[in-house]
A and B are shown apart, each in its own frame.
Chain A
Amino acid sequence: EVQLVESGGGLVQPGGSLRLSCAASGFTFSSYWMHWVRQAPGKGLEWVANIKKEGSEKYYVDSVKGRFTISRDNAKNSLYLQMNSLRAEDTAIYYCGREGDCSGTRCLAIDSWGHGTLVTVSS
């Protein structure tokens, strides 16, 4: 069974930093692209970033470029999101997601999601 478990969320002051982790199990982590998606309280979904299987390619939404860094450790089956210079508008539940594999090619859809971790940016 695929499992994704996020951790590391919490309350942080504006300008502060936080590192989110996502522990993966039940599948060969190194064979999948991985994503972070967030959802502000009462709002819709916003894709944040993704990372290629071996970590060589990374993409971000414009609003977090230069502040957030996605990374992975395939030996530890873990995905990370380093968040710096946090702003009030970064307050959200952050979900870790696995992109599906379609017979060896990218499915370009997130087929498994964690339960999310809440990040609150406030003074």
Chain B
Amino acid sequence: IQMTQSPSSLSASVGDRVIITCRASQNIWTYLNWYQQKPGRAPNLLISGTSTLQSGVPSRFSGSGSGTDFTLTIGSLQPDDFATYYCQQSYNSPWTFGQGTKVEIK
């Protein structure tokens, strides 16, 4: 299953609402996860099962979608949110990641 994220990168300001989309090449129901990765660090799970926010993740992050189209929304971008975000499907093996979306400071 191929996962395609858009955009590949974006520039935004603190306080902006940011939306990242992820499209699967086939129906993956809601088996979709989102990870955040900062330079030199391991990825960090933000959202599992399309919309379940992980413990400790700020509520400004939210996820939605089903089937083939999904979104990650950052309600009000904060300085700590500048990072690369990856979607990942776990509907079947091999699990696959999107190519990543780099969120940069405008």
- Interface residues of A, count at CB 8 A: 22
Interface residues of B in 60-100 (CB under 8 A from A): 86, 88, 90, 93-100
Nearest-CB residue, chain B, relative to A93 = B42
Contact partners of B99 in chain A: CB under 8 A? 44
Q: Which residue of B lies closest to A59 (CB)?
A: B93
For A89-120 the 0/1 string (1 means CB < 8 A from B) is: 00000010000100000011111011110000
Q: How far is the CB of B72 from chain A (nearest CB, A)?
A: 14
User: Which residue on A lies nearest to B44, using beta carbons?
Assistant: A113
A111:B42 contact, CB within 8 angstroms: no
Count chain B residues whose beta carbon lies closer than 8 angstroms to a beta carbon of A: 22
Q: Is the CB of B49 within 8 A of A109?
A: yes
Nearest Cβ in chain B — how far from A58, in angstroms?
Answer: 10
Are A47 and B49 touching (Cβ within 8 A)? no
Q: What is the CB-to-nearest-CB distance from B15 to chain A, in angstroms, rounded to a whole number? A: 28
Using known A-B contacts A108-B90, A113-B42, determine if residue A47 contacts B97 with beta carbons closer than 8 Å: yes
Q: A45-B35, A46-B97, A47-B97 are in contact. Are A109 and B90 (CB under 8 A)?
A: yes
CB distance from A106 to the nearest CB of B (A): 9
A116 to B88, CA, bound (A): 19
Partner of A95, one of B33, B42, B94, B100: B42
- A11 interface residue (CB < 8 Å to B): no
> Within residues 41 to 63 of chain A, which ones have a CB less than 8 A from any CB in chain B?
44-47, 50, 59-62
The residue on A at minimum CB distance from B93 is A59
Instruction: Name the residue in A35, A44, A60 with the highest tally of chain B Cβ atoms < 10 Å from its Cβ.
Output: A44
Interface residues of B in 40-68 (CB under 8 A from A): 42-45, 48-49, 54
A82 to chain B, nearest CB (A): 18
Q: Say which residue of A59, A109, A111, A115 sits within 8 Å of B94 (CB atoms).
A: A59
Check B43–A109 contact: CB distance below 8 A.
no
Chain A residues in contact with chain B, CB under 8 A? 35, 37, 44-47, 50, 59-62, 95, 100, 107-111, 113-116
Task: Report 15 cross-chain contacts, Cβ distance below 8 Å, ordered by A residue.
Answer: A44-B97, A44-B99, A45-B35, A45-B88, A46-B97, A47-B96, A50-B95, A95-B42, A95-B43, A108-B49, A109-B49, A110-B33, A110-B43, A110-B45, A116-B42
